[in-house]
Amino acid sequence: MKHIPYNKNLKEFSRKLRNDSTLSEIILWKSLRAKQMKGYTFNRQKPLLNYIVDFYCKPLNLVIEIDGDSHHYKYEEDLKRQSELESYGLIFLRFDDKEVKTELNNVLRTIELWIDNKEQNPPNPLL
């Protein structure tokens, strides 16, 4: 996987976003932090390139985004951002804000199943 640079100017803003997390981000973070998700380390509000993603797991090349009010009417912008980050080998899982709040077990199970599949079918380094 290619090294993913980041804009150092986003460091303070990412810290502010962590301090001002949405309820759904806080709820999901409680299940991802401290290697609770199958032993993997996740970062929250992680700067990557010129963007900040909600959650990032480097060993899995996984970005988890929660689409809430800040994503309404930003479909094109989100698509461009996601496409650019995917060009670095990242995979996105997206969940709706309401889904995290009302169906957390389903969200966590989806993440677990994705990880299980990734572990059982690692990418071929020769391809």
Report pLDDT digits (tens) over 4-29: 988 899 999 999 999 999 999 999 99
DSSP H helices in 1-127: 11-19, 23-32, 75-86, 97-102, 104-120
- On whether residue 24 sits in a domain, the answer given is yes
- On whether residue 3 sits in a domain, the answer given is no
Give the pLDDT of residue 68.
Answer: 82
- On whether residue 1 sits in a domain, the answer given is no
Q: pLDDT digit string (tens) for 87-112?
A: 999 999 999 999 999 999 999 999 99
Specify the CATH number for the domain of residue 57. Answer: 3.40.960.10
- On whether residue 31 sits in a domain, the answer given is yes
Q: pLDDT digit string (tens) for 35-64?
A: 999 999 999 999 999 999 999 999 999 999
Give the pLDDT of residue 78.
Answer: 85
- On whether residue 27 sits in a domain, the answer given is yes
Give the pLDDT of residue 91.
Answer: 96
Domain count, the chain: 1
- On whether residue 127 sits in a domain, the answer given is no
Structural domain of 100: 8-118
Query: Which pair of tokens denotes residue 39?
Result: 């032993």
Query: Which pair of tokens denotes residue 41?
Result: 């380390």
Beta strands in 24-74 (DSSP E): 43-48, 51-57, 62-67
